[in-house]
């Protein structure tokens, strides 16, 4: 049996789940479990034995989930769908070219369900 060694890339798929009444959405309720399985399946079909797909807790840009992070490339994807998995696996994970139209950045991390609620003290999440 061949040994794979240290992965070349890690794909972190947020599968965080929050209560339905929480103001921030959950990636799991947006189909992240299926994404996790699809990344594992497609990367295996493509023979990407040097890519490790990892189920992750919250990655923070919740407002644009499901969120996927590829390391060590420091590439963040948001709003990923099942239809995007094949493209990410082929173009980014295999061919090292990130899928630009799915990339997110600092702005998406700063989105908040509380925007416009300046009357709230810092850190307070109001009840639903």
Domain spans in the chain, listed from the N-terminal domain onward: 9-106
User: Rounded to an integer, what is the distance from CA 48 to the centroid of its chain?
Assistant: 19
Beta bridge partners of 13: 55, 68
Distance CA 113, CA 70 (A): 25
pLDDT digits (tens, 9 = 90+) for 51-82: 999 999 999 999 899 999 999 999 999 999 99
Phi-psi region of 74 (alpha: psi -120 to 50; beta: other; left: phi over 0): left
The CATH code belonging to domain 9-106 is 3.40.30.10
pTM of this structure: 0.85
CB 56 within 8 A of CB 11: no
Distance CA 48, CA 60 (A): 27
Check residue 111 and give its pLDDT: 83
Q: Give the N- to C-terminal CA distance of the chain in Å, as an integer.
A: 53
Q: How far is CA 76 from CA 17, 60, 93, in A?
A: 19, 11, 13
């Amino acid at each position: 049996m061949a040994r794979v060694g240290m992965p070349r890339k890690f794909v972190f798929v947020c599968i965080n789940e929050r209560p339905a009444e929480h103001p921030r959405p959950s990636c799991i309720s947006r189909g992240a479990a299926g994404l996790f399985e699809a990344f594992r399946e497609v990367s295996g079909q493509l023979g990407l034995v040097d890519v490790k797909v990892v189920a992750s807790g919250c990655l923070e840009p919740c407002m644009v989930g499901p969120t996927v992070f590829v390391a060590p490339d420091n590439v963040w994807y948001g709003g990923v769908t099942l239809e995007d998995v094949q493209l990410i696996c082929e173009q980014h994970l295999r061919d090292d070219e990130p899928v630009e139209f799915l990339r997110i950045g600092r702005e998406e991390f700063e989105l908040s369900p509380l925007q416009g609620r300046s009357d709230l003290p810092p850190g307070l999440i109001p009840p639903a």
